[in-house]
């Protein structure tokens, strides 16, 4: 019942989905550009319309009453960004402990302009041996664009160049520049 409702709501709002999710049990979805609170709503409707259970990580403040139950019910897991914890290893463990697990992340980490993307998704994909599926919310065409999955090669600079090139074709609700990849000391 939820899938037809989400399809109807997307159609009613003029949105469409281009492409399809991979036909495998485990993968990471990265969604960008993140420029508006509407991104979450469009993303949840698209996920519902696709009929696939996709999990997400959210700031811990979203998971307190009265809405905490709702965010957990739709696949959310709280993350306390104030604590110095190893999010990559925790996410890899989720992939290893489940037979069917899809995780959506926003690599920008904020709606504000950024000079570099967070690359945790890439490290999770490498360690968990899962593909990365880039998804763009193109507000100019009112289209959720699902790109062909990328199996990380281990060459983060090359893979990130390919990923960022895709996102430069996507226009967020409030357009912003997609930065070039800059390796940090961690890479």
pLDDT digits (tens, 9 = 90+) for 86-107: 788 888 888 998 899 999 998 8
Rounded distance, CA 56 to CA 37, Å? 15
Residue 74's CB: how many other CB atoms inside 10 A? 15
| Of the candidate ranges 76-85, 114-123, 142-151, the one whose mean pLDDT is the lowest | 76-85
Q: What is the mean pLDDT of residues 33-41?
A: 87
Q: What residues contact 185, with CB distance under 8 A and at least 6 apart?
A: none
Phi, psi of 126 (to 5 degrees): -65, -50
Question: What does the domain layout of the chain look like in residue ranges?
Answer: 2-167
Residue 86's CB: how many other CB atoms inside 10 A? 10
**Checking phi first, is residue 139 left (phi over 0); if not, alpha (psi -120 to 50) or beta?**
alpha
**Does residue 76 register a pLDDT over 60?**
yes
């Amino acid at each position: 019942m939820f899938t037809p409702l989400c399809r109807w709501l997307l159609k009613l709002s003029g949105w469409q989905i281009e492409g399809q999710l991979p036909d495998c049990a485990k993968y990471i979805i990265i969604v960008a550009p993140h420029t508006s609170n509407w991104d979450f709503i469009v993303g949840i409707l698209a996920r519902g319309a696709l009929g696939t259970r996709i999990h997400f990580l959210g700031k811990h403040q979203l998971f307190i009453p009265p809405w905490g139950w709702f965010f957990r019910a739709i696949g959310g897991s709280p993350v306390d960004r104030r604590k110095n914890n190893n999010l990559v290893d925790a996410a890899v463990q989720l992939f290893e402990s489940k037979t069917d697990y899809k995780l959506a992340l926003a690599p920008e980490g904020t709606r504000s302009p950024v000079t570099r993307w967070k690359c945790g998704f890439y490290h999770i994909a490498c360690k968990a041996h899962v593909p990365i599926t880039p998804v763009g919310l193109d507000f100019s065409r009112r289209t959720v664009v699902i790109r062909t999955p990328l199996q990380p090669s281990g060459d983060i600079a090359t893979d990130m160049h390919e990923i960022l090139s895709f996102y430069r074709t996507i226009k967020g609700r409030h357009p912003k520049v997609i930065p070039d990849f800059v390796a940090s000391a961690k890479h």
